[in-house]
Amino acid sequence: RVRHHRWEITYQFKSPDCFQKLAVTINGGTPGPTIDAQQGDTVVVEVKNGLLTENVAIHWHGIRQIGTPWSDGTEGVTQCPILPGETFIYKFVVDRPGTYIYHAHYGMQRSAGLHGSIIVSLPGGVKEPFEYDEDRNIILNDWWHRSTYEQAVGLSSIPFVWVGEPQSLLINGRGRFNCSQAGTTAVCNPNSPQCSPYVLTVVPGKTYRLRITSITSLSALNFEIEGHNMTIVETDGHYVEPFVVKNLNIYSGETYSVLVKADRDPSRNYWAALNVVSRRPTTPTGLAVFNYYPNHPSRSPPTAPPTGPLWNDTDYRLDQSLRIRARRGYAVPPPRTADRVITFLNTQNRINNRTRWAVNNVSFTLPHTPYLVTLKQGLLHAFSQEPPPETYDYQNYDIYAVARNPNATSSDGIYRLEFDSTVDLVLQNANTMNPNNSETHPWHLHGHDFWVLGYGKGVFDPEKDPKNYNLMDPIMKNTVPLHPFGWTAIRFRADNPGVWAFHCHIESHFFMGMGVVFEEGVDRVGRLPTSIMGCGHAKVLGRKP
C-alpha cells in the first residue's frame, strides 16, 4: 500500500510553553502529523518548502532507505536542500514494524520544531509479543526561546556563544514557561491554550503502550509517571526482553515502547514528569497529566511531581543501557568477528578560537554538495580525499584531563567501507575543555541498525574488552548513548549501498563537527534522481532539460 502525504513547511507564531516564538511547522503544526503505515508499505511525502528565505530537508530517522539512499533527507550527504517554493518528493519503504521519527536535517533547523512520529504496524494477522489495550505516542523535546539562527550564529562566532540550557521541556509539544521571567517586550501568555499540559487519559485497569520518542536538541531526559512502573518492550524498532523500571532514561534520537497499566487509585490524577539528566539541570520539570477517566483532565494531581534520579548519577543510566537486551526469540545474531574496527575518540576542541567537537582530533565539516552525488558521479575534487584516522593514540591520551593540545583540524573526508563487510565502531568518551567534565553523546547511524556489543567505564582496552562483548542477545538500535568517561561498542554490516552519516544527535554538537560519514557500495546505487542535485558542484547535474 502507498501512504501519501502532502506537507507544506512554514514558519508560524507558536507558544508551546506560553512564550511566543517562530516555529517551523508542517501544515501549521509542531509536532507534525504522525505517519501511520504498515510493514511493507511505501510512504510518499511531498514536501513543499513554504519558508520564505530558508532551505529545508527532512530525515526519516530509523528507516534504512534500502534501495532509496537519496530519500534519507540529510542535507550535504544525500541531497541538496529543498529551496523555498520548491517541492521535493520523498519515497521509501517502511520494511520493519516499530516506532520511528522524522525531523529536519539541515543546519540546526530541527530545534525549531520540524519533527514527528512514524509508526509502522505489523502486517494483518501478526501479533506483537506482548499485550496491551491501546497505543499512545509521546514526543519529548527541549525548547529555546532564541531562534535557531541566533543559536547557530553564536556557535560559530568569536567569542563563542553557547546555546545554554533549554527554557522548557515539552511533552507532545506542550510545556510551561514562567511568564513573569519573560521580559516586557516578549509575548508570553500563561493562559494560552497552546501551553496547557498534555493530558493522557487512561481507563482504570487498561494497559497502555506508550511509544516514547526523544527529539531533544541537547538534553538527556528521564521520564516518569508518578506511582506507575513501566515495562520496556521495544527500542528503535526492536523488541526488548521486557524489564520493569520506575522511570525511563531516553536520549535524543531514541524511541522506546513501554507498557503502563492504569492500576492505581482511580479517584485522582497523576503527574507524568520529564527531568533533565546528565547535564546540571536549570530547566524546570516538564509536566503532563496522567488522567484517570472519568476524573476531570485539568484536575491537578494532589502530590508533588517526581524529580527524577540524580542528574549526575551516571551509573544509574549505564545500568539501564546494560539491561537492554534483545527479546528472547527475536535476537538477530551478529557476525562473530569484524573485518574492520574503527575507534572514535570524542573530544571537545578548539579551532581558530572557536569551540568545536572532534573525533580522533578531526572536526567534521559538512560540504554543501551531497556526497551521494559527488561519489556516484566521480566528482572527487568536491571533498578531501584523505580518509580520517582509524583510531587515536590511546596509550598516551588521558581521557580524564582537559586535552593538553586542544587544537583539532577540520575535514570533510569520509570513511569508505568495503561493501558487505562487518564493521565495529568503538566510541570513546573523554573530558571536555572544562575540568572534571564529560558529557553524554547519543550517536545515530543512518541507513542501518547496529548491534550494541557493550558499554564500559574508562578507557576501552582493545585486548580485553572485546572478550566481554555480548554476542548472545545484543539489542539492535540506530541511536546509542556514549556515557560520560565511558565507551560504547557497536557492530554493523556495511550492506546498504549509499552514503550515510554517523553523528552525535545533539543538534549543536553535530553542527560543531561531531560526526563522520561512511560510504559503502556506492557503485551499486541505482540512477540518482536529479531532484537531489542542483547545488554546489552538482549544480550542472540538477539542471532541468
Ligand X SMILES: O=C1O[C@H]([C@@H](O)CO)C(O)=C1O
CB of 158 to ligand X, least distance (A): 13
**Residue 157 engages ligand X in binding (rule: CB under 6 A):** no
CB of 452 to ligand X, least distance (A): 23
The residue among 432 and 470 lying less far from ligand X, judged by its C-beta, is: 432
The residue among 439 and 449 lying less far from ligand X, judged by its C-beta, is: 439
| Binding string, residues 59-88; x marks residues near ligand X by CB under 6 A | ------------------------------
**Residue 162 engages ligand X in binding (rule: CB under 6 A):** yes
Reference 403, options 438, 450, 374; nearest CA is 438
Let me know the angle formed at the C-alpha of 26 by 218 and 274, rounded to the nearest 5 degrees: 35
**Residue 142 engages ligand X in binding (rule: CB under 6 A):** no
The residue among 200 and 514 lying less far from ligand X, judged by its C-beta, is: 514
Reference 316, options 287, 277, 273; nearest CA is 277
Positions in 173-232 near ligand X (CB under 6 A) = none
| Binding string, residues 330-349; x marks residues near ligand X by CB under 6 A | --------------------
Rounded to an integer, what distance in angstroms lies between the CA atom of residue 145 and that of residue 280?
19
Q: Which of 99, 343, 355, 470 binds ligand X (CB under 6 A)?
A: 355
Handedness of CA 242, 245, 247, 250 (dihedral sign): negative
The residue among 137 and 348 lying less far from ligand X, judged by its C-beta, is: 348
Cβ of 325: how many Cβ atoms within 10 Å?
A: 16
**Residue 320 engages ligand X in binding (rule: CB under 6 A):** no
CB of 436 to ligand X, least distance (A): 12
- Do 218 and 508 touch, CB atoms closer than 8 A? yes
CB of 433 to ligand X, least distance (A): 6
Residue 12 pairs with which residues in a beta bridge?
A: 23
Contacts of residue 482, defined as CB under 8 A and 6 or more positions apart, other chains included, come to 346, 427, 429, 440, 441, 442, 443, 488
Locus of grid cell 510512504: 43
CB of 164 to ligand X, least distance (A): 9
* Cell of residue 481, nine digits: 548513548
How many residues are present in the chain?
545
State the number of binding residues for ligand X (CB under 6 A). 6
| Binding string, residues 439-478; x marks residues near ligand X by CB under 6 A | x---------------------------------------
Q: What is the DSSP letter of 299?
A: P
* Helix/strand/coil for 425: strand
CB of 441 to ligand X, least distance (A): 9
Stretch that binds ligand X, among 384-392, 412-420, 432-440, 461-469 (CB under 6 A): 432-440
The residue among 89 and 153 lying less far from ligand X, judged by its C-beta, is: 153
The residue among 280 and 527 lying less far from ligand X, judged by its C-beta, is: 280
Locus of grid cell 487509585: 265
Residue nearest to ligand X (CB): 162
CB of 166 to ligand X, least distance (A): 12
**Residue 243 engages ligand X in binding (rule: CB under 6 A):** no
The residue among 198 and 364 lying less far from ligand X, judged by its C-beta, is: 364
The residue among 162 and 400 lying less far from ligand X, judged by its C-beta, is: 162
**Residue 164 engages ligand X in binding (rule: CB under 6 A):** no
- Do 252 and 101 touch, CB atoms closer than 8 A? no
**Residue 167 engages ligand X in binding (rule: CB under 6 A):** no
CB of 483 to ligand X, least distance (A): 15
CB of 118 to ligand X, least distance (A): 28
Dihedral angle of Cα 168, 227, 241, 208, to the nearest 10 degrees: -80
**Residue 252 engages ligand X in binding (rule: CB under 6 A):** no
- Do 106 and 114 touch, CB atoms closer than 8 A? no
* Cell of residue 279, nine digits: 547535564
Rounded to an integer, what distance in angstroms lies between the CA atom of residue 409 and that of residue 403?
14
The residue among 238 and 505 lying less far from ligand X, judged by its C-beta, is: 505
Residue at 246: amino acid letter: K
In the 3-class helix/strand/coil scheme, how is 127-171 assigned residue by residue?
Answer: CCCCCCCEEEEEEEEEECCCCHHHHHHHHCCCCCCCCCCCCEEEE
Positions in 495-514 near ligand X (CB under 6 A) = 509
**Residue 13 engages ligand X in binding (rule: CB under 6 A):** no
Rounded to an integer, what distance in angstroms lies between the CA atom of residue 384 and that of residue 363?
13
Residue 267: phi and psi, rounded to 5, are -85, 0
Rounded to an integer, what distance in angstroms lies between the CA atom of residue 480 and that of residue 461?
20
Which residues of this protein are in contact with ligand X, per CB under 6 A? 162, 355, 432, 434, 439, 509
